[in-house]
């Protein structure tokens, strides 16, 4: 009995070390997340075609756990962060997480099993922000779709988390800061939360080729 418990403890410790090693290198995380996500989309395409919202389930399980949603949400708020209560921010964070899930799902709805390419690993040194590009080929011969995931080293945990996606040169964070600034000025954080909720109530659109 003791030997079995000891073996389980050793196996668990090895798994923890493996996870810590992966999470200390954004390139490894990106490779694993991309492989798992695109494999599932490809293998479960029949389910997605029947129910496009199923793709969002895959995104929630494979990508969202590695995204620093609260940090991204706080960046969008900017100076309005200090003027909000914890309860307001908690409601906003929930709505923002759903929104990020929704738009990431919609961006990847075009993926139908094409090949993809991740930029080669570069030395990180003391960097705390690392951009990593995924290029998805287009069978029709058009230029590949390029998604730049911005990874940030968490100052508390030391783990790397993605906080922004730059699609075809356009940052989601920067775009939303500009797009939603008037909502924050006129209606505050509660108004923005309601706006996000209205966006996420819209169904996922299937991008059939």
Q: Is 148 helix (H, G, I), strand (E, B) or coil?
A: strand
pLDDT in tens, 161-185: 999 999 888 999 999 999 999 999 9
Q: Give the model's confidence band at 8: pLDDT under 50 very low, under 70 low, under 90 confident, else very high.
A: very low
Burial zone of 132 (CB within 10 Å; 0-12 exposed, 13-18 middle, 19+ buried): buried
Write down the pLDDT at residue 7: 33
Write down the pLDDT at residue 22: 60
Rounded Cα distance, 158 and 15, in Å: 18
pTM check: above 0.85? no
Rounded to 10 degrees, the C-alpha dihedral 46/48/50/54 comes to 140
Write down the pLDDT at residue 1: 45
Helices (H) and strands (E) in the chain, counts: 7, 5
Rounded Cα distance, 31 and 36, in Å: 9
Delineate the domains of the chain, giving CATH numbers in brackets. Answer: 26-200 (3.10.450.710)
Beta strand spans in the chain (E): 116-118, 129-136, 145-153, 160-167, 170-171
Sign of CA dihedral 143, 106, 108, 32: positive
Mean pLDDT over residues 182-189, rounded?
95
**141 or 39: which carries more pLDDT confidence?**
39
pLDDT in tens, 114-148: 899 999 999 998 999 999 999 998 877 788 889 99
- Averaged pLDDT of the chain: 85
Q: Is the pLDDT of residue 20 over 60?
A: no
């Amino acid at each position: 009995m003791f030997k079995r418990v000891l073996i389980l403890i050793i196996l668990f410790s090895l798994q923890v070390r493996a996870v810590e090693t992966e999470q200390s290198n954004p390139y490894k995380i990106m490779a694993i997340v991309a492989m798992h996500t695109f494999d599932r989309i490809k293998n479960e395409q029949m389910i997605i075609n029947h129910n496009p919202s199923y793709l969002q389930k895959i995104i929630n399980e494979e990508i969202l756990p590695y995204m620093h949603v609260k940090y991204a949400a706080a960046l969008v708020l900017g100076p309005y962060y200090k003027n909000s209560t914890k309860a307001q921010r908690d409601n906003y964070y929930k709505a923002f997480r759903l929104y990020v899930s929704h738009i990431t799902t919609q961006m990847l709805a075009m993926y139908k099993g094409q090949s993809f390419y991740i930029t080669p690993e570069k030395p990180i040194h003391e960097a705390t922000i690392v951009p990593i590009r995924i290029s998805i080929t287009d069978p029709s011969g058009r230029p590949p779709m390029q998604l730049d995931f911005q990874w940030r080293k968490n100052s508390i945990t030391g783990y790397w988390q993605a906080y922004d996606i730059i699609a075809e040169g356009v940052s989601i964070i920067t775009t939303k800061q500009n797009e939603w600034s008037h909502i924050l000025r006129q209606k505050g954080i509660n108004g923005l939360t309601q706006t996000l909720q209205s966006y996420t109530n819209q169904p996922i659109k299937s991008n059939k080729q």
